[in-house]
Amino acid sequence: MTESLSVLSAAVRDVRDFPKPGILFKDITPILSNGRLFRMAVDCFVEANADLRIDKVAGIDARGFLFGAAAAYQLGIGFVPVRKKGKLPFQTESASYSLEYGESVVEMHVDAIIPGERIVLIDDLLATGGTAAAASCLIAKMGGLLVEAQFLIELEFLAGRKALSHLPVRSFLKF
Ligand code: AMP
């Protein structure tokens, strides 16, 4: 596992000044485009959830879909998208949040979660924690029990765990 994590860490590409000056963007596409690395990354989430009795994965738009949906498939459980405003066709609940680089709104379908379901929240990266905190509010509104928030990458200097102090948080690659 430790060896897999250092291989994955080394594959994350730093892109300076994207999408705005001053932001160091952690690009995961080198992981996605390599079958062995993509499987390693998805397996981190699958192994983390093997014993948590999860009913559904909630994945955050858009890169959380990539790992979340693959992990849900392997775990044999459902996947629900937490999407940016205006993308979901049916009735939604929404929550607003601030990003490392801007403001946004996330939405979920009102029937995405059955009250009492055990949910794991998955995204590619934890920065300030605003997105995941907003998603956790939506899950709570729908009566879901958010068991853990999980991220492939955590930018520790942005202290996102503080914004999520009400939740168990797990990340695999720390920068
Ligand atoms: P935050 O709400 O600040 O925790 O931001 C997390 C969300 O923004 C995730 O969906 C990430 O994909 C994206 N994000 C924020 N900062 C970065 C970054 N430096 N590199 C890549 N993605 C980022």
CB contact at 8 A, 171 and 152: yes
Question: What is the distance between the alpha carbons of residues 132 and 60, in angstroms, rounded to a whole number?
Answer: 8
| CA of 46 relative to ligand 1 center, distance in Å | 22
Closest ligand 1 atom to Cα of 27: 21
Both tokens assigned to 112: 């995405």
Closest ligand 1 atom to Cα of 127: 4
Pocket probe for ligand 1: among 28, 131, 151, 171, the residue whose CB has the most ligand atoms within 8 Å is 131
pLDDT of residue 101: 59
| Residue linked to tokens 């993509």 | 38
Question: What is the distance between the alpha carbons of residues 38 and 90, in angstroms, rounded to a whole number?
Answer: 32
| Residue linked to tokens 């690009």 | 27
Q: Provide block-wise average pLDDT over 10 residues at a time, the chain (175 residues).
A: 92 97 97 98 98 98 98 98 97 85 87 98 96 95 97 97 96 98
Given its phi and psi angles, is residue 25 left (phi above 0), alpha (psi -120 to 50 degrees) or beta?
beta
Question: What is the distance between the alpha carbons of residues 129 and 106, in angstroms, rounded to a whole number?
Answer: 13
Which among 155, 91, 93 is positioned nearest to 123, based on CA atoms? Answer: 155
Question: pTM for this structure?
Answer: 0.96
- Domains along the sequence of the chain with CATH: 53-174 (3.40.50.2020)
Q: Which of 3, 16, 53, 63 is catalytic?
A: 63
| CA of 20 relative to ligand 1 center, distance in Å | 12
Closest ligand 1 atom to Cα of 131: 2
pLDDT of residue 100: 57
- Number of Cβ within a 10 Å radius of residue 33: 10
pLDDT of residue 82: 98
Which among 152, 163, 150, 158 is positioned nearest to 23, based on CA atoms? Answer: 158
| CA of 125 relative to ligand 1 center, distance in Å | 5
Burial class (CB in 10 A: 0-12, 13-18, 19+), 39: middle
Q: Is 107 a catalytic residue?
A: no
Q: Is 100 a catalytic residue?
A: yes
Question: Which residues have any ligand 1 atom within 6 Å of their CB?
Answer: 23-26, 60, 63, 99-100, 123-131, 160
Tell me which residue has its CA closest to atom 13 in ligand 1: 125
Q: Which of 3, 83, 93, 100 is catalytic?
A: 100
CB contact at 8 A, 7 and 39: no
